[in-house]
A and B are shown apart, each in its own frame.
Chain A
């Protein structure tokens, strides 16, 4: 077997922590090699060492690429060698065109002048290769995340990459786009490009990878060839160091009466005149019930949630909201909170937390009046409230005075949850509650959700991870193109039935468009 890349005994320390400890990674020519591990296991650090983000000399160990030892001083060096990395946070310029982005820092130029015709001609060729039908003159900000991902790949191909590293490429993609991307990876493999795939989504790993390396706590646990004996459970066991018996905690639902209802809800796009985003949506929540909204990305789930939560999204919103059978009017977020609603955003970093502030400040934000004593904020109460939630939700932090920006994703999410639980809501809307969180922390979040439901609260969960929806929800609404297209109970729902529901609604509306090739 010929190895295109060999990383031997890589050790990288940051002040106080050993991020990588004698890690070995061997990637064979022309394979798709998956790198898996929990958050903080060292995957990204390893890839940063490889791509020259951490220059030679700041780590110990050796890297061989095509049997030659590599001494990368920066990213440019690794790119010139033929290694390209696509980070989880895409590095595209939103106000530049696709063509400009593909050849950014790699311009088609003669004597310092850029040949734009050549740029766009070659960009179009590359788009064809990655299967993206889009004008190369479109601005990045105007295309979807899925398409942006393809542009990133085209950009890497433009640099004649022999080894392409993808860090969580499908994290922000819906199922269809993910599927397309995975097919593209297989295609690239056929064209002779070696790929390293970093992913949390084990089903995808199993679908495309030829071999799998597991990292845990900065060390290589094992590398395995993909064959029939490799299962998700087997990988998870390697990742967490123990067998995870059940990924979703058991719960016996105690479902009460209807306590929240949205009727004939319509929302229009705030930017595009006359474009309806949410179409005649009707949903109902019972006390103590966990309800899921499944759907592809772009189906309008977040828009629905935000428009209900104090009209935070959209315009010309019409429809009725009923709580405990009585109609309520919600014009802004404050009124939503006062009416017992809480909304945990899908992006905790940009919309959920003030990262430069500490845990106690963040927990207080949505209910400051609950901390006021004689016109002033009672700091003792603020601290004791924060301490209480830290204990209850098992937030792992040095103290409640730690800045939330320093916490791991799972603990940040627990702080956001604390903030909303402190408002004593009756209805919690959780948008992607476990995105980017590792397996162990996910389980804890599910336990919290279950506990809230057991206390009689109604919970609406939006998630792009179908197993999660199926694992924790009592009832599932299926959303597509801004409509509720189906409703299934836990016992009758499956990934297949949900996808079928979505695809049927697509066909119903458009008479079978390009997407139908997905249903086979």
Chain B
């Protein structure tokens, strides 16, 4: 009798400790990257004695990394198709910068027309590279390595080795401007201790939180319906509170600086659009299926050549957008713009959990990876770490992130 009771209690304890363990295991892996991101931010905040998370610096962080974020979104799709990467995006950024520079500064063309032409040029570059990759089946690595050289060369030819500057203000504003505050328009001004508070930013933050809570809750109830694994309610609420707090603090910071940067709006639209594309649409499924097993995808009626082709066209279009953003931000079209952008974008995808073999990875993961790299860059610069060490540290972080993924996966298997 006594023995039975003993057995029961011991069973119960192992069950509880086991479940806590599995909860941690399942969730820490899921949120490892986010946790790393916030940990890095807190460490920098302490180390820089509060400079790192100053409102101005938070805005800067977004502006500085906007083009890598845009590139990482496109790069995720390339990597998803089967571990293919695009090495040409940095050069394409520079080339597109050269095109808008020539059109706007030298030829005095209308800004919007120039942007349209630049994006179409990006699409053409994508068609060129996509053709060789998808239909001739030359490895993407080689085609885009060629593109990296070709478009860097063409940039130099176009700009004759010189930097074009300055751009008209309407162009520069695209990348360093802010969404106009509707309270200003209505003539309301709220000031706290002489700081102008941007109401739009606060409203956007609240809206974003509401949408986030709604979507998460919907996802959870759907998972429940299908008896899938869901995280315990307290943890779920903690997650909601944490994310909502983070969103609102973030927008509050924007509000007390200058408001919502236009480029942030662009990135958000791209992020949401591409998340839906990859997770919820037929072309998204095609990409994942192709990356998981191209042969099976083909025999399921998926035109894998077309998928690969369009992925690369898309990548170059996004590279063009990133190139425009970068040119606008630096207010100059330079022949050395965009050097190493491709490496930052690729690193962001892998840090964000994409598989080097394709078929695994998310757009949001790549964006978090890019932000993580941006935080490292910005934080280390604030601390006065030299660029030599910054590179070394970034390189090791990339390795550590992927090693963590590989090792935790092989443990899960054993």
Interfacial residues, chain A to chain B (CB-CB below 8 A): 15, 309-310, 312, 332-334, 336-337, 343, 345, 350-357, 361, 364-366, 368-369, 372, 375-377, 379-380, 383, 399, 401, 419
Residues of B within 8 A of A368 (CB): 282, 285-286
Contact between B281 and A352, CB atoms less than 8 A apart: no
Return chain A residues, CB-CB under 8 Å to B285.
361, 364-365, 368, 377
Q: When A354-B359, A356-B360 are in contact, do A376 and B299 touch as well, CB less than 8 Å?
A: no
Q: B-side interface residues toward A, CB under 8 Å?
A: 222, 226-228, 276, 280-282, 284-286, 288-289, 292-293, 295-303, 359-360, 414
Q: Which of A15, A366, A399 has the most chain B CB within a 10 Å cutoff?
A: A366
- CB < 8 Å neighbour of B296 from A332, A364, A365, A380: A365
The answer to whether B292 and A333 touch across the interface, beta carbons within 8 angstroms, is no
Contacts of A354 in B (CB 8 A): 288-289, 292-293, 296-297, 359
Contact A377 B293 (CB under 8 A): no
Contact A343 B299 (CB under 8 A): yes
**What residues of chain B lie closer than 8 Å to A372, measured between beta carbons?**
282
Using A375-B281, A376-B280 as known contacts, say yes or no to A312 and B293 having CB atoms under 8 A apart. Answer: no
29 A-B pairs within 8 Å (CB atoms) are namely A309-B299, A310-B301, A332-B303, A333-B300, A333-B301, A333-B302, A334-B303, A336-B301, A345-B296, A350-B293, A350-B296, A351-B293, A352-B296, A352-B299, A354-B288, A354-B296, A354-B297, A361-B285, A361-B288, A365-B297, A365-B300, A365-B302, A369-B282, A372-B282, A375-B281, A376-B280, A377-B282, A380-B222, A399-B227
State the Cβ distance, A92 to closest chain B Cβ, in Å.
21
Rounded to whole Å, the gap between the CB of B164 and the closest CB of chain A is 41
Pairwise interchain contact A365-B289, C-beta atoms closer than 8 A: yes
- The residues of B that contact A351 with a CB separation of less than 8 Å are 293, 295-296, 299
Q: Describe B's contact surface by its main secondary structure.
A: helix
The listed residue (B228, B281, B284, B299) touching A312 by CB distance below 8 A is B299
- Taking A357-B359, A364-B285, A376-B276 as contacts, is the C-beta distance between A419 and B292 under 8 angstroms? no
Docked-complex contact A376 and B281, CB < 8 angstroms: yes
Name, among B228, B281, B285, B359, the residue most crowded by chain A CB atoms within 10 Å (CB to CB). Answer: B285
Could you tell me if B293 and A355 are in contact, using CB atoms closer than 8 angstroms? yes
The winner among B281, B292, B296, B303 for most chain A CB atoms within 10 A is B296
Given contacts A337-B301, A356-B359, A399-B228, contact A350 B295 (CB under 8 A): yes
Within 8 Å CB of B297, what residues of A? 354, 365
Contacts of B288 in A (CB 8 A): 354, 357, 361
Kindly list chain B residues whose C-beta atoms are within 8 Å of the C-beta of A361: 285, 288-289
A333 and B298 contacting across the interface, CB-CB below 8 Å: yes
Contact of B300 (CB < 8 Å), options: A366, A369, A383, A399: A366
Contacts of B298 in A (CB 8 A): 312, 333
In the assembly, what is the distance between CA of A380 and CA of B218, in Å? 12
Q: Which residue of B lies closest to A378 (CB)?
A: B280
CA distance A357 to B279 in the complex (A): 13
Q: What 19 new A-B contacts, CB under 8 Å, besides A354-B288, A355-B292? A: A310-B301, A332-B303, A337-B301, A351-B296, A351-B299, A352-B296, A353-B293, A354-B292, A354-B293, A355-B293, A356-B359, A361-B289, A365-B297, A368-B286, A372-B282, A377-B280, A383-B226, A399-B228, A401-B228
State A312–B301 Cα separation when bound (angstroms): 10
* CB neighbours of B295 from chain A (8 A): 350-351
